[in-house]
Amino acid sequence: MFPDELKYTKTHEWAKMEENTDVVIVGITDHAVKQLGDIAFLELPEAGNKIKKDSPFGAIESIKAVFDLTSPVTGEVIETNQQITDNLELLNTDPYEQGWMIKIKIENKNEFESLMNASVYEGFLNEKGEEH
Amino acid sequence: MKWRLIRSGFLNGYTNMAIDEVMFIHKITQDVPSTLRLYGWDPPAISIGYFQKAEDIKFDKKIDIVRRMTGGGAILHDKELTFCLVAPIKNSVIPEKVFNSYNAICQAIVNGLTFLGINAQIRGKVKTSLSKNNQPFFCFSRPSSSDILFKGKKLVGSAQRRKNGILMHHGSILLDDQNLNGATSINAILQREIKFEEISNAIIQGFEKEFSIKLVPSDLTECETKLSRQLEKTKHLT
């Protein structure tokens, strides 16, 4: 089960609109965390960086494999979660709250609205035959 | 199924990394076949993993230092056969999931080594008591599930990069001993000096057997060659 209040991407990021703002918080789903296994390194952008929907915003390494983190929306990074870069375990224990990665001030709310909701994301994983 | 085989011979570290990167980018953007590239290093060089810092290298000789696109620890590339495999993450011969893909590719290497009379094993899942920050800096000093071992000693190290649906897998096969604790080499096992050609041929056979593919000797495309020269100058040499 994935939190209903979040939106999801096919590359397993989640996105949450902060109430009454144009800021979207982004992280990776617990499905992604489980698939990655033992996460060793994380690279996040600095505040002020501009990022584009469907483009990489960072990278993560597990089992010596490096993966891109893909932005669900276009906008400017206004904050990164310093806590997780020092404590990657938070991605395992609390991927949807303390494990958030970046906050993005978005340009186009439609990009956020067009992301998958929880049930569609779950269906997408089922279609791929992936456990969740 | 046919894959492309590139035998580059011995090149410097900057050129080697530029070629691998271009093969990877090209596979993302162009319709080129999946590729296995085999190469050596002249002069020797140290490659560091994507997340490692060059200033953390403790090495007392002057040597070229290059960064890989793949993860894992640093490697001193001297007498070694390196391979770079580039293929779609979803393909008909290598499993999609990371752990399984490592296993399949390592099995191809293990198969190849049997042609030399070497009975190697894949280490399999390991639990290390070391925290991530306390892992040894060098690949051949740290245990990993994808290691290929001979009598408990590491002979082959591997690492991957995954991007836009494409997989890059790097593997390093030690040909000669580097006096590293817990590591061994082809020469030490065979008690003779193996020719680069001979180990290359064995590894090619291993891949062909494991994946039922035909590796067709090829050259880089004109575009790949041009781009890799540019990338070497603009990125890897700076």
Q: Please indicate, yes or no, if residue A54 is contained in any of the structural domains.
A: yes
Closest CA to A40 of B211, B56, B160, B102: B160
CA closest to B157 among chain A residues: A64
Tell me the ipTM for this assembly. Answer: 0.84
- List the structure tokens of B49: 């993993």
- Is B123 an 8 Å CB contact of chain A? no
Q: How far apart are CA A107 and CA B45, in angstroms?
A: 45
Instruction: State the DSSP H helix or E strand holding residue A111, giving kind and residue range, or none if neither.
Output: helix A109-113
A40 within 8 A of A31, measured Cβ to Cβ = no
Q: How far apart are CA B173 and CA B171, in angstroms?
A: 7
Question: In CATH, what number is assigned to the domain containing residue A46?
Answer: 2.40.50.100
- Is A37 an 8 Å CB contact of chain B? yes
What's the domain count of chain A? 1
Instruction: State the DSSP H helix or E strand holding residue B18, giving kind and residue range, or none if neither.
Output: helix B13-29
> So what's the pLDDT on residue A36?
87
In residues, how long is chain B?
Answer: 238
B144 within 8 A of B170, measured Cβ to Cβ = no
Q: How far apart are CA A114 and CA B214, in angstroms?
A: 43
Active site residue B139: yes
CA closest to A88 among chain B residues: B132
Q: Please indicate, yes or no, if residue A51 is contained in any of the structural domains.
A: yes
Mutation choice for A interface testing from B134, B163, B167 by most A CBs within 10 A: B163
- Is A43 an 8 Å CB contact of chain B? yes
Evaluate the CA torsion angle A56, A57, A62, A64 in order and state its sign: positive
Contact between chains at B163 and A43 (C-beta distance less than 8 A): no
- Is A54 an 8 Å CB contact of chain B? no
Q: How far apart are CA B20 and CA A112, in angstroms?
A: 36
Tens digit of pLDDT per residue, chain A (132 long)?
Answer: 899 999 999 999 999 999 999 999 999 999 999 888 888 899 999 999 999 999 999 999 988 899 999 999 999 999 999 999 889 999 999 999 999 999 999 999 999 999 999 999 999 999 877 766
Domain chopping of chain B, boundaries: 2-227
B89 within 8 A of B96, measured Cβ to Cβ = yes
> So what's the pLDDT on residue A103?
98
Closest CA of chain B from A92, distance in Å: 15
Q: Please indicate, yes or no, if residue A131 is contained in any of the structural domains.
A: no
pTM of structure: 0.90
A102 within 8 A of A66, measured Cβ to Cβ = no
Q: Please indicate, yes or no, if residue A122 is contained in any of the structural domains.
A: yes
The alpha helices in B73-158, defined as continuous H runs, are: 98-114
A125 within 8 A of A67, measured Cβ to Cβ = no
Q: Please indicate, yes or no, if residue A2 is contained in any of the structural domains.
A: no
Contact between chains at B160 and A59 (C-beta distance less than 8 A): no
Contact between chains at A67 and B162 (C-beta distance less than 8 A): yes
Within 8 A by CB and 6+ apart from B108, the residues are: B203, B206, B207, B209, B210, B211
- Average pLDDT per block of 10 residues along chain B, 238 residues long: 97 97 94 96 96 86 93 95 97 92 96 98 72 74 89 95 94 92 94 98 98 97 94 81
Q: Which of residues 156-175 of B touch A (CB under 8 A)?
A: 158-164
Evaluate the CA torsion angle B192, B193, B197, B201 in order and state its sign: positive
What are the chain A neighbours of B99 within 8 Å (beta carbons)?
37, 63
Residue A108: strand, helix, or coil = coil
Contact between chains at B162 and A41 (C-beta distance less than 8 A): no
Q: How far apart are CA B175 and CA B193, in angstroms?
A: 8
Within 8 A by CB and 6+ apart from B55, the residues are: none
Q: How far apart are CA B135 and CA B51, in angstroms?
A: 13
Q: Please indicate, yes or no, if residue A132 is contained in any of the structural domains.
A: no
A58 within 8 A of A101, measured Cβ to Cβ = yes
Q: Which of A56, A61, A88 sits opposite B71 (nearest CB)?
A: A61
- Is A41 an 8 Å CB contact of chain B? yes
C-alpha pair distances (Å), B81 with each of B60, B128, B171, B201? 24, 27, 8, 11
> So what's the pLDDT on residue B135?
74
CA closest to A65 among chain B residues: B160
CATH number belonging to the domain at B2-227, selected among 3.30.930.10, 3.10.310.40, 3.40.50.720, 3.30.2130.10: 3.30.930.10
Q: Which of A59, A63, A68 sits opposite B98 (nearest CB)?
A: A63
Q: How far apart are CA B78 and CA B221, in angstroms?
A: 27
Residue with tokens 């990167």: B21
By CB neighbour count within 10 A (0-12 exposed, 13-18 middle, 19+ buried), where does B19 fall?
A: buried
> So what's the pLDDT on residue B127?
61
Closest CA of chain B from A125, distance in Å: 14
Q: Please indicate, yes or no, if residue A1 is contained in any of the structural domains.
A: no
Q: Which of residues 94-113 of B touch A (CB under 8 A)?
A: 97-99, 102
B3 within 8 A of B216, measured Cβ to Cβ = yes
> So what's the pLDDT on residue A49?
97
Its domain, for residue A56, covers 7-126
